[in-house]
Amino acid sequence: MEIGKRLLEKEARKYDVSLKKVSEEDYRRVARDNGCAQVDDLQAGIGYGKFSARQVLARLVPSAQLEAAHPSRLTTVKRALGFSGDLAIQVHGHGDLMVYRAKCCNPIRGEEITGYITRGKGIAVHAKSCPNVQNLLYDADRRIEVEWVGPKYSLYPVKLTLFTRDRQGLLADVTGAIADVHSNIQDIEVHTDNSQAHIDVTLDIVDLEHLEKILSSLRKVEGVYQVERVAH
């Protein structure tokens, strides 16, 4: 319900329409027209993607008002800056739903993904390989199809852990291997113990192909015997 309400308000702002001027009777009428017993059911239907926020708004507000209106400049700027969610992902068939990448698996472009409708937050996007995806099957109605869209312009932070033999010049070789495949280091920590070391490094990644090149480059560094992607 909360997601549906926000989506309807967001659509109304695009057309400079004030929903405060819409009467309760109009809400109930549109709810009945969509087969809903209550306005709450209508909002929940929008939140689940059953009804389009644009179509509901068109029934609430005279069509001439919507046709004459144009999206506000503020809305356009927000879309450009990414305030409406992760612009690299959209719900299949819908371009106006709020989506965000789940922190448990932090999916990156190129990975197979699935969406899950969360309570009050929007659509959480998981990698299909994420162990938590199996835990979401208890409420299959909340699963929703999502897809990567648009050009490659996003950078995704990905944390890796390297298990290595400790030796002189190791860190320089590791950072050099990362630079060779054109990735920026956000953070790096080295821990050594008894001639062994493990390195935690967070990198900017473009997509799955880029990540695989980085992994391949790091595994070629002398003394590195294992590289793992860290799931939060």
Q: What is the pLDDT of residue 74?
A: 34
Q: What is the pLDDT of residue 72?
A: 42
Backbone angles phi and psi of 155, in degrees to 5: -115, 135
The answer to whether the CB of 177 falls within 8 A of the CB of 218 is yes
Fold classification of 156-229 is Alpha-Beta Plaits (3.30.70)
Q: What is the pTM of this model?
A: 0.58
Q: Considering just the CA atoms, what is the radius of gyration of the chain in Å?
A: 23
DSSP 208: H
Nearest to 169 by CA among 127, 113, 221: 221
Domain ranges for the chain = 2-68, 85-148, 156-229
Q: What is the pLDDT of residue 71?
A: 45
> Which residue positions in the chain have pLDDT lower than 70?
63-87, 92-97, 120, 136-138, 150-153, 232
As a whole number of angstroms, the distance between CA 229 and CA 187 comes to 15
As a whole number of angstroms, the distance between CA 211 and CA 214 comes to 5
Q: What is the pLDDT of residue 10?
A: 82
As a whole number of angstroms, the distance between CA 148 and CA 135 comes to 23
212-230 pLDDT per residue, tens = 999 999 999 999 999 999 8
Q: What is the pLDDT of residue 45?
A: 84
Q: What is the pLDDT of residue 65?
A: 56
Helix (H) or strand (E) holding 114: strand 113-118
Token digits for 87?
A: 């612009």
Strands 196-205 and 122-127: unpaired
Tell me the one-letter amino acid at 204: D
The answer to whether the CB of 153 falls within 8 A of the CB of 163 is no
Q: What is the pLDDT of residue 82?
A: 35
Torsion of CA 39, 43, 45, 51, to 10 degrees: 100
Q: What is the pLDDT of residue 4?
A: 82
Other Cβ atoms within 10 Å of 45 Cβ, number: 19
